[in-house]
Amino acid sequence: MIIKTLVLTLLLSAPLHLFAIETDTAAVSIITEDDFLSDIPIVLSASRLSQPQTESATSVTIINRQMIEASTATSIPELMRMVPGFQVGFYDGNIPVVTYHGMSDIYSRRIQVLIDGRSVYIPTWGGVPWKSLPITLDEIEQIEVTRGPNAAAYGSNSFLAVISIKTFNAFDTQAGLLKLANGNNKQHQALYRVGAQTENSEFRVTIAHRGDEGMDDFADAYDEELLKFRIDYTIDNNSQFFYQSGINKNQQYEQGGDISLTHRFETSVSYHHFKWERNLDDKSSVSVQLYRNQYSLNNSSLSTEINLTSADLGYPAGITFDPFRITLDSSSEASRQDLEVNYFYKPSKSLRTVSGFSTRRDSVKSEALFDTSETFTTDVSRAFGHAEWTMTPQLIINTGIMIEDHQISDTSYSPRIALIHKFTNNQSLRYSYSTANRAPSTAEESINITYRPSLTVSGTGICVLVTTLTCENGTDNIVAVPNLNSIGGLDFEEIESNEIGFYGDYFSNKLTINAKIFHDMISDIIVDISPNEDGGFENSQMLIAKGIEFGSTFRPDHDLYLNLSYANISITDKTQGAYSTVEVFSNSAPKESYGLSILKQFKSDYSLSLEYFQIGEMRWTDIGSLTEPYDILNLKLSKKTRIAGSKLTYSLLLKNLSGEYNDYNEYGNVSANNNSSMSERIRLEVELQGF
């Protein structure tokens, strides 16, 4: 509420800034020899320079600022639809889930997401709280998506893919930004960002409020408030640091255990992130990063009414009990603290190396999930090294290893080797072999949900304490509310990945082609075995995932941009034994999916974007039925103009024009009879920049 008030106050004061525009063109200052001779900070140091995509050891898709602005996406997960092999769904209509090559339930545990190098993975259940991340699309410079394991660089949980989000530094965002949006289903957004600078530093403050009522006839509305701060400080020509922090408070509605009862749950995500970098000389640099994430979820709902009979409890016939409800609680607190040191060294023209170490502590506390007030901590220590050796102008070897000592699952080794053959400066063929591990989440290892409902004998008020409740799939009026107790002793999941990739750019980068054939073997997959046993998780399943992916961009001139993606994924379940059918992964990714994005800019400052996605049949692993094939058609029309020296952009977004669809079948708690689905969305955005 405080943030909402702040937003309104600043919005009302915005016009004052409009009159403060610096337009004094007459105030010419003298250019002196110092402007030619003075040293200036090293910006593109050797460690900051990335290798060209022709020399990349992994398959990489870049979503740049232009694509973000052209897109109709209003959230990061929606942008991921552009990336070959990615699946995006909205559980309960408002909980985004992003995965690569399927294998996901509501907690997408097998991809890593980094914001400016900070992992935003939640240690409780795993996964990423997309809806509650303190980040806005307006501050993202680009998103680099590594399609495939990259634990050698980023550690465990960089298992199937890595999404690395890079935000603008504070200097890039000195221009004031005011953005307002409104649309059907009560879509609304207000964002205000302002920058300032001193001799050696730049600042940025962002406040935002946004919300949406979600699907028709379904309780999936959300509202969030966000406050962020960033400072970039230049210490001298060779060293600098940034510090950023933010908080997002999110309220979402859902239909809980009893879908006739709507309840609200609250999420709060905050962070502090500090990074210092220093160029030691032309060949080496060092960086130190320290961050802390805090995650808090307050969510409890009531189950449907449970009617137990004397037979259910082994009591003599004739005793009847009053109906009761169980409180389904998933409230928890979690934090992640991480310290990482990186050392970059380029000993020769043909060799460059990165090495370092990190130490991390994950803490999780939840009486509801663990039946104890104790805080679970997991300590992880890591050491890593990478080397890129250009043997000849045509042949490059890229190798690396991550050694990780994990408190839950001991020590793991994640090596990678890639051979890159460059046919020309613009085309290359790559073979890459890598392994990666996924450490079990705290909940998978230690969960202990125990329900203790109090029953009263009808007509007497006598209480009967039921210490455990394991009524599963009973009669119509008894819900399945099994206890869930982890057996513990879980091991890492493992993936062994082989891929052959091709990257080529043609006609001076006007056309790029990015393709790969992959074969992944995933073993020791941790699954919920509760349907077979009395709750818990076990390393029990094995999969083979293989297929092809294709991505292409075409930019014949500066006014037209096309992005094309295609993925063909086949997952075969190789699990043997008793738990082979506990969770079904074999169709957890669509056999085929397509994506097409077109941006056309017109001379009249109009631009038109079109997006079309077609996703085949697939199954989220926590849902019993298949998500039917669906397609999405979105349009965006924008007009740029100037007002009092500021840039004003109007955008009209028309989404889901090809009809209603479900991207997470049954939307979690929605019953099969509920026809809720994603329907047409209309949204108008107005953006004023540069005041």
Partner 1 sequence: MSSLSFADNYLIVSEINHRFHNSLAKQIETGLSQANHSSHTITTNELKARAYSDYDSIITIGYTAASLLFQSNTSKPVLSLLIPLQAFTHLENSIDKQYRHLFSSIYIDQPVARQLELIRQLSDTFHTVGIIFGKNSHQRKENISDTVKKFSLTPKTITVFDRTELISETRYLSEESDILLAIPDNSIYNKRSIKGILLTTYRKKIPVLGYSKAYVRAGALAAVFSSVTDISRQTVETLIQNKSSGYLLTSRSYPKYFDIEINKKVAHSLNIKLRDKDIILKNMLRNAQNEQL
List residues near partner 1 by CB under 8 A: 21-33, 35-46, 49-54, 64-66, 141-142, 168-169, 171-176, 195, 197, 199, 202, 234, 425-426, 505, 508-509, 558, 645, 647, 689-691
Which residues contact residue 269 at a Cβ distance below 8 angstroms, ignoring those fewer than 6 apart?
129, 132, 133, 134, 247, 248, 250, 293, 294, 295, 296
Instruction: Give CA separation, 614 vs 81, 86, 565, 595, in Å.
Output: 10, 12, 10, 6
3-state secondary structure of 173: helix
Residue among 37 and 672 whose Cβ is closer to partner 1: 37
Residue among 476 and 557 whose Cβ is closer to partner 1: 557
Distance CA 182, CA 177 (A): 17
Distance CA 359, CA 285 (A): 20
CB of 170 to partner 1, least distance (A): 9
CB of 53 to partner 1, least distance (A): 8
Residue among 18 and 515 whose Cβ is closer to partner 1: 18
Residue among 202 and 520 whose Cβ is closer to partner 1: 202
Distance CA 125, CA 148 (A): 22
Q: What share of the chain is helix, strand, coil (3-state, %, to 5)?
A: 10, 55, 35
Which residues contact residue 99 at a Cβ distance below 8 angstroms, ignoring those fewer than 6 apart?
86, 87, 108, 110, 111, 160
- CA-derived radius of gyration, the chain: 27
Residue among 368 and 513 whose Cβ is closer to partner 1: 513
Which residues contact residue 421 at a Cβ distance below 8 angstroms, ignoring those fewer than 6 apart?
394, 395, 428, 429, 430
Q: Please state the length of the chain.
A: 691
Scanning the structure block, which residue is given the tokens 């980023």?
Answer: 154
Cβ-based burial of 5 (10 A; exposed 0-12, middle 13-18, buried ≥19):
exposed
φ/ψ of 399, rounded to 5, equals: -140, 155
Distance CA 682, CA 663 (A): 19
CB of 553 to partner 1, least distance (A): 12
Amino acid symbol at 338: D
Q: Are 637 and 608 in contact (CB under 8 A)?
A: yes
Helical segments of 34-92, H only = 34-37, 65-70, 76-79
CB of 491 to partner 1, least distance (A): 40
Residue among 174 and 298 whose Cβ is closer to partner 1: 174
3-state secondary structure of 192: strand
